[in-house]
Amino acid sequence: MRIWILLAALFLAACSVTTLPEPQQISALADGGRWFKLEKNTADGSTQTSLLAVAPVAGGLRFVQTDALGAPLSRQIVSGKGWRNDGFVPPNAESRRLFAAILPLLAADGDTALYPDVDKVPSAQGALFRYRGQEVWQIAARGQDFEITFPDRSRWLVQPLENDANHEQ
């Protein structure tokens, strides 16, 4: 009986280990908030479009991803304490992984202070990010846009959208 309890405890401990790096220092957004159009392309050729709003909150940033009709797909807050769900939207591990990859693109001072435990390896396709010896994502610039590729071969095209409030004179 003790062996089963020990095995169950080890299994639960293994499930709680994160494969994503935890941000150490969150920079404030210079312009108060950012909007992005996201296009997910999977290995089977399907495409899904959504919107992402990133806004500052006390001590961190709020990420809200919605479908084309405005229904929330994911709401996450990141701070120096890590990631947490925001509101009643169910946890979305895929979105959290995407938000973690987008976070260095928002950092004004680069990504070295953000993820000090992540190795960034320049490549012909952009930069490969490795954490604990495993590839976590790859980012390639496409003009003003970015393409993020994950080990499962899913690709996200991240397109910054203009915020008219920031450009009014």
Domain count, the chain: 1
Q: Which residue has the tokens 């495409």?
A: 47
Confidence check: pLDDT of 1 > 70: no
Q: What is the pLDDT of residues 122-138, one digit of tens each?
A: 988 789 999 999 999 99
Taking phi first (over 0 means left), then psi (-120 to 50 degrees means alpha), and beta for anything else, what does residue 158 get?
A: beta
For residue 88, tell me if it sits in a domain: yes
For residue 1, tell me if it sits in a domain: no
Q: Which two tokens stand for residue 121?
A: 């390896």
For residue 66, tell me if it sits in a domain: yes
Q: By three-state DSSP, how is residue 35 classified?
A: strand
**Other beta carbons less than 10 A from residue 162's beta carbon:** 8
The strands making up 134-142's β-sheet, listed across from edge to edge, are 82-85, 72-79, 60-66, 47-57, 34-41, 155-161, 145-149, 134-142, 126-131, 118-123
For residue 51, tell me if it sits in a domain: yes
For residue 124, tell me if it sits in a domain: yes
As a whole number, mean pLDDT of residues 137-148 equals: 94
Q: Which two tokens stand for residue 159?
A: 């397109």
Q: What is the pLDDT of residues 12-62, one digit of tens each?
A: 444 434 478 888 878 777 667 899 999 999 878 889 999 999 999 988 999
Per-residue confidence at 3, pLDDT binned at 50, 70, 90?
low
Per-residue confidence at 154, pLDDT binned at 50, 70, 90?
very high
Q: Which domain holds residue 147?
A: 19-163
**Other beta carbons less than 10 A from residue 6's beta carbon:** 10
Q: Which residue has the tokens 């996450």?
A: 76
Nearest Cα neighbor of 34 from 58, 60, 55, 51 is 55
The torsion defined by the Cα of 43, 92, 100 and 144, in degrees rounded to 10, comes to 60
Taking the model in full, what pTM does it have? Answer: 0.82
For residue 13, tell me if it sits in a domain: no
pLDDT at 110 (0 to 100): 58
For residue 2, tell me if it sits in a domain: no
Per-residue confidence at 168, pLDDT binned at 50, 70, 90?
very low
- CATH number for the domain spanning 89: value is 2.50.20
Q: What is the pLDDT of residues 73-122, one digit of tens each?
A: 999 999 888 899 998 888 899 999 999 999 988 876 655 678 888 999 99
**Other beta carbons less than 10 A from residue 121's beta carbon:** 10
Contact criterion met (CB below 8 Å) for 70 and 142? no
pLDDT at 17 (0 to 100): 43
Contact criterion met (CB below 8 Å) for 128 and 120? yes
For residue 169, tell me if it sits in a domain: no
